[in-house]
Amino acid sequence: MSTEYPKFAVVGHPNKGKSSIVSALALDDTVQISDTPGSTVRKQSFPLKVDGKILYELFDTPGFQRARRVLSWLQKHDVSADKRHEVVQAFIDAHREDERFRDEIELLEPIMEGAGIIYVVDASKPYGEEYEAEMEILRWTGQPSMALINHIDETDYSREWKRALGQYFKMVRSFNPMQASFSQHLSLLESIAQLNEEWIAPVNRSIALFKRFHSKMLEQSAAEISRLMYHALSYVERYTLHTEKASEADERKVEERYKERLRRFEKESQQRIEAIWQHKHLKKEQELLLFEGLDLFSEQSASIFGLTRKELLVTAATGGAVTGAGIDLLFAGHTLLLGGAIGAVIGGAGAYFGFNELADVKVLGQHLGKYSLETGPMKNRNFPYILLGRALYHMMKVINRSHAVRSVVEVSMESSFKEQWLDETLRTSLEKYHKMFRSGKEVENEVLQQYSTLIKTVLENFDRKAGLKQFSYPHQGDNAQ
């Protein structure tokens, strides 16, 4: 019965939230959760693995179906307490092929293999004596056990439940998988570890790992938000024109494309953040990123060899100046550097006035010049805070959402949200980076990392507040059950 790592079987009456608890503890939103009893028909293993090495293993099990019959069978074997677990094993062996006891065998097997028992009840419903047969069977197994009080609905019958559970379990804890924060998750793990002295060390290792994992996820999210900000603020939508002058339709088109692109940046970034937090199946409702009042301007530009008129002017002027300077040098400066000046003027003027003509020149059937319409980078100074606010709000919704919740999450930012994260000091710090992003220049990785660190600080503040339950993210309508 000994195992190298702790195992815990989440057991109980059907439909009391066992799968929700497992889903929340395993950070897995793929666990099948249903209000139809018997949706879990086989035990499911949820091992916490680090590089393939299991630290602990959780089992989601089917609910008891014929507890009284099982207990009746056990009670027919009048044995002393130290032999009772053998009787339970005998029951499993005798009924392994009996379809009637499939659920009981599925749930008893991991327990008999050494798993600790986490007995789940729903304290939003009154206590009933039908639970006693189940608790008695669990007592017969002789395995360390605890009761976990879940609250599927609003009503509260905790007091009567605690009185009853206290007679069967030495530890009774409350845990709402739909609203459990990260710290509650860890606290529950600590409690579970107390069931057996040998489990304390491995579970504590797991807790330390979860903390590191959580911090890493915050860091990755901050980096992801930083990337979104950089890409969105520096993005330029270019639309190649086939004529020299852009029409209104062209302008509308390039602006629409620009908006769509920014929305896509946001959507993809949100998907990546959901993946970081293991919410790959999250369904959400969210208002589109709007651009009202942001005055997007599209500018027409032309280029030759990829150089704009200004760049070509500078290049030609420099070329002219260098040539002229060569002549100046040949005259050992006696030309009073007029050669350089004249060369620069000729080169610059030639490029400026001859730009359009040069653009129309055809080489090997292609025009040297290209005309395009451009929108971006985003010049509006408020836009970064709108986008960042939306990203942070979405992120917090994801962090605070339990993996047990299956309902559609509504991501509609309250107007007061900005006050919760943005103050003058932070705005000043962020503005410096937003200016860099808007400039359209290539931003060094180090700069992005600095920005990311700033965002991480904001996220950590949110996370801390959420952990302390001070941060108000209502879960109304989020409950699946």
Considering the complex, state which of residue 28 and residue 255 has its C-beta at the smaller distance from other proteins.
28
Nearer residue to other proteins within complex by CB, 86 or 268: 268
Q: Which residue, 234 or 420, is less far from other proteins as judged by CB?
A: 234
The smaller minimum CB distance to other proteins, of residues 67 and 193, is found at: 67
Pick 123 or 458: Cβ nearer other proteins: 123
Contact 344, 351 (CB under 8 A): no
Quote the CA–CA distance of 319 and 437 in Å, as a whole number: 31
Q: How far is the CB of 286 from other proteins (least distance, A)?
A: 24
CB of 38 to other proteins, least distance (A): 5
Q: 């979860």: which residue's tokens?
A: 210
**Residue closer to other proteins, measured from CB, 246 or 312:** 312
Shortest Å distance, C-beta 207 to other proteins: 13
Distances 377 to 122, 333, 389, 439 between C-alpha atoms, Å = 54, 45, 19, 7
Least spacing, CB of residue 32 vs other proteins, in Å: 5
Nearest-Å Rg of the Cα atoms of the chain is 33
Residue 311 CB, nearest approach to other proteins (Å):
6
322/426 with CB nearer other proteins? 322
| 3-class DSSP assignment, residue 173 | strand
| Phi-psi sector, 268: left (phi>0), alpha (psi -120 to 50), beta | alpha
Q: Which has the closest alpha carbon to 412: 284, 294, 300, 322?
A: 284
What is d(CA 375, CA 235) in angstroms, rounded to the nearest whole number? 8
**H/E segment holding residue 170:** none
User: Which residue type does 9 have?
Assistant: A
Closest distance of CB 92 from other proteins, Å: 17
Could you tell me the smallest distance in angstroms from the CB atom of residue 438 to other proteins?
A: 14
3-state secondary structure of 375: strand
Please give the torsion angle defined by the CA atoms of residues 115, 116, 119 and 120, in that order, rounded to the nearest 10 degrees: -80
Strands, E assignment, 322-433:
362-363, 366-367, 369-375, 409-411
